[in-house]
Structure formats: structure tokens, C-alpha cells
Amino acid sequence: MAWTYPGVPAALVAEFAGRPVADLPFFAPEMVTSDHGSVYKNHHIVASARRLGIDLLPARAMRPTDKAAVERAFAGIQSLLLELLLGYRGTDVADRGADPEGDAVWTVSQMEHLLASWIVTVWQNRRLDQYAPAWDAGGRHSPNTLFAAAAARDGISWRSLIRSRTSSCCPLTL
């Protein structure tokens, strides 16, 4: 998805992207609930939301339930990835190890490979449990099985697409 950015000429975005950009995303939410970070008060975010007709609603302070889906995603990323990495600093000082700064040495390419491998092997294969689709609520589904079901329904040979794109990717090792 690519669309124009308020305050930035379309030609500049197209030059950066290497192709023309579309006018608007194919859908826009009615409302976005955010925390009180300065990034959400940025004038570009506010102008973009206004242009797309999106209401920006700041969450109540200290109420993670106001943005439960995002908090669930971050908690999942923390427990499935971050806590397993060398140098993880966690919230409890006792969990940090003797030298977390020395343990946490990653190059950009190592981190990119780690994240790509983790997304493919862990995140996309996690069981959805209570968030399973209505058409098979008792089934064991992951984002990958839902993608496979959608591809099969539409007659897409997704296995050949995946093989061609992931031939250089190796399994995640932590």
C-alpha cells in the first residue's frame, strides 16, 4: 500500500519509492486510539488523519484496556521473541544477567534476518485460539493457515510463491 503523504509532494514520494504512488489506501479506520506518546501528536499524523477522515482518540492514561489488541500484540512479541534474546533487559533487574549490554551485539543484517525468520517460523504460526475464524471456531488456526485457506479459496498457488521468496531463509535458532 502506498499513498500520498500530506505536506509531501507526490513526485518526491514516487521518486523515493521508485514508482508512482496511489492516491488513498483502500480502507481507512474511523478511529485510532493511541497512547500519549509525542509521535501521535505529530502534526503529520494529525494532518493525515484529518485528510483520511480518521478520528484520533487518545487512550485514558494508565488504561491498557483502551488499546487491548495492540497491547496483546506487544505482549506476544515480548514473550515469543524479546525474552529469548541475549541481552534482554526485561522489567525485573534479576532477569537481566551479568552483562546485558555485552550480550546484545547485533549487526543490522543479523537483526533483519532474525526478525524475518522469527516472523515466518513463530509469529505467523502461533495458534489463534479464541480468535479463530467464525467459519471454523473449534479449529486450530494460525495466520499461516488462514492465508492458506484464503489462497485455496481464490485458486492461488501460494506454496510456489512462498518457496520462491523464502529459498534463502533458514529456520530461526535462538
Q: What is the pLDDT of residues 107-152, one digit of tens each?
A: 888 888 888 888 888 888 888 877 778 888 888 888 888 888 887 8
- Distance in angstroms (rounded) separating the CA atoms of residues 74 and 123: 12
Give domain status of residue 3, yes or no: no
pLDDT band per the 50, 70, 90 thresholds, residue 6: low
**Claim to verify: residue 121 and residue 169 sit in the same structural domain:** yes
Give domain status of residue 2, yes or no: no
**Claim to verify: residue 53 and residue 43 sit in the same structural domain:** yes
**Largest alpha-carbon pair distance within the chain?**
53
Name every residue whose Cβ is closer than 8 Å to that of residue 38 and which is 6 or more positions away in sequence.
none
Please give the tally of structural domains in the chain.
3
The residue among 122, 133, 128 whose CA lies nearest residue 69 is 128
**Claim to verify: residue 32 and residue 77 sit in the same structural domain:** no
Give domain status of residue 78, yes or no: yes
**Claim to verify: residue 113 and residue 169 sit in the same structural domain:** yes
DSSP SS3 for 78: helix
Q: What cell does 162 get?
A: 512462498
Q: When comparing pLDDT for 36 and 54, which is higher?
A: 54
**Claim to verify: residue 166 and residue 115 sit in the same structural domain:** yes
Give domain status of residue 169, yes or no: yes
Q: What is the predicted pLDDT for the residue at 172?
A: 39
Give the domain range for residue 71. 65-104
Give domain status of residue 127, yes or no: yes
Q: What is the predicted pLDDT for the residue at 171?
A: 42
**Claim to verify: residue 111 and residue 130 sit in the same structural domain:** yes
> pLDDT > 70: what percent of the chain?
72
